[in-house]
Amino acid sequence: MKRRRLMTQVYLSFAVVVVWLFLGMSVYAGRQVRQFCLELVATDLTARAHLLEDAATEKLVQRDDAGLLALCRSLGGRTATRVTVIRPDGVVVGDSDADPARMENHAGRPEFIEALARGSGRSLRYSHTLEREMMYVAMPLYRQTKLVGALRVAVPVAGIRRTLLVLLGNLALGGLVLAGLALLLSLALARRITRPLEDMRQVAERFAQGELYARLALPEVAETRALAAALNLMAGQLDERIRTIAAQRNELEAVLGSMREGVLVVNAAERLVRINRAAATLLGIDHETARGAALQAAVRHPGLQQLVADTVQRRTPQEADLTVYHTEERSLQAHGTPLDGGVVVVLTDVTRLHRLETVRRDFVANVSHELKTPVTAVQGFTETLLDNPPAGPEEARRMLEIVARQAERLANIIEDLLTLSRLDSGDPGSDIELRTTALAPILQRAVQDVALRAQEQGVRVAMICGEVQARVNDALLEQAVANLLDNAIKYSPAGAEVTVEVDEADDGLRITVSDQGCGIPPEHLPRLFERFYRVDRARSRALGGTGLGLAIVKHIALVHGGSVAVESELGQGSRFGIHLPRAESE
């Protein structure tokens, strides 16, 4: 159904009222004018009757019927009035328009009856004698107190009607003019009433579009003025509250966006109402498309779905450990808290903690294993020497040499552990002092440290280093390079060449130790710098390694603000690099 405008409704209401008033006033005025005209005619007829009263009474008393007839026709012709004289018994004895002898008895005429009863009578009716509608006025005739007859005068109604129609036509024309003016006034009044409301509607639409700064002009009418003031006040309060909500939302978005923990808000229908970027990254989903999607469709993880379902069902906080596989395996700790009509899930990435725990357990196990071997050897041979002394000095010397080698190995492990502990602590008082110096002398000393082992292995060591400087600790950097050279020499065949080279780059310096050994399988490269991690445990122990050399290299690089890297291919050798910042950047 089409809705009409308020302007149309108000104007139509005014128009209906005006039309009904016009019709009512027309009917009322028509009746009043007709009644007024009839009263005027009746008054005029009464006056005419009084003029004939004495003459008609005299003729009735004298019983001069011929004189009455002549009187009636004479006066009737001159005044255009029908004059009738009636005896008390209703017999017509004189009439200006008809023959009395042929007229029926008028005793039953209403005006005659009323005149005898009340002193005057009036009637508007159809005349069967003249065959037209007439206005009659009758009055009794007395001689002293004796009723001698009745005088009746009448005029045709047609003339009255013509006069009445002209008068009513003029009244109708005037009424139409007034009605038209009233309709125009109603239109103006309707516009005046609805214009402020139309303005309010337009401004309200601007409010709905977010233009809460718009304001309404205050009309003169008290009611609409109060409404406009209320709308202006509402807009101001809405603007303030929306700004507050927007600021709080931005703060919430900023907080959620800066959190390292993932946050998901799920409603009762298990749809994602809110998800921050950290959660999307941890779960491997798109941040924009996930919002508003069903949890089962956006996050295909049974553990998380079960956590949400349990939290909704039990209405108590729930926790769960989740493992997700996205680019890499991640361990997450999920905590679900019930809300009114939903659940908040907080995801904490504990992958690093799990890895550190694994490294700690492996480190304890490796330390125990590495220390157990030399300690067991020393303990065993010592007990043998004490309980069962060897038969000859050569056997005793062999056992003591074994004990000495294991003691030396134990001392090396302990020394390396102390070095790692010192590097990890970062204690300023632990002689870890950096200064800007040339790298060539440091690398040269490192080459000299491994020269004897290289000679024994039949491996050549080459150094390529220009006149470059870096902010380093001489002893630590020498130890790191010596460790890399020592490893390269150990795993290089006789006749191979090991190279230590310094390359300059925009972001710093890179010290690279390259060998031509057997290479390292790719699956071992990520864990190569862990403590006690060995690719070939049996061969590493046979070569006298402690399993801590590369870990020490990594920590020395970190102390210098640098990093380590490794590249290797099976059968093609390996390249170990230490990246150091330039001296100028410090």
**CA-CA-CA-CA torsion for 493, 409, 475, 486, nearest 10 degrees?**
0
DSSP assignment, residue 2?
P
Name the helix (H) or strand (E) containing 358. Answer: helix 351-387
525 by DSSP, 3-state: which? helix
Residue keyed to tokens 């036509």: 169
* The two three-digit tokens of residue 508, written as one number: 């710093």
**Cα gap 341→68, rounded to integer Å:** 112
CB-side neighbour CA atoms (13 Å) of 12? 6
The verdict on whether 369 is a catalytic residue reads yes
Among residues 150, 144, 129, 135, which one has the least CA distance to residue 53?
150
* The two three-digit tokens of residue 263, written as one number: 């946050």
Among residues 184, 127, 188, which one has the least CA distance to residue 152?
127
What is the Cα gyration radius of the chain? 64
Q: At what angle do helices 6-62 and 157-208 cross, to 10 degrees?
A: 170
How far CA 201 is from CA of 68, 197, 207, 227, in Å, comes to 85, 6, 10, 12
Q: DSSP for 234-253?
A: HHHHHHHHHHHHHHHHHHHH
The distance in angstroms from the start CA to the end CA of the chain is 80
Contacts of 11 (CB under 8 A, 6+ apart): 186, 187, 190
**Cα gap 201→197, rounded to integer Å:** 6
Edge to edge, the sheet with strand 497-505 lists: 460-464, 497-505, 508-514, 573-580, 563-569
**Cα gap 581→586, rounded to integer Å:** 8
Among residues 512, 497, 490, which one has the least CA distance to residue 580?
512
Q: DSSP for 486-507?
A: HHHHHTSPTT-EEEEEEEEETT
How far CA 30 is from CA of 20, 39, 127, 163, in Å, comes to 15, 14, 25, 12
* The two three-digit tokens of residue 289, written as one number: 């498309």
Q: DSSP for 116-177?
A: HHHS-EEEEEEETTTTEEEEEEEEEEEETTEEEEEEEEEEEHHHHHHHHHHHHHHHHHHHHH
CB 523 within 8 A of CB 486: no
Catalytic residue among 369, 555, 560, 579: 369
CB 167 within 8 A of CB 104: no
Catalytic residues: 369
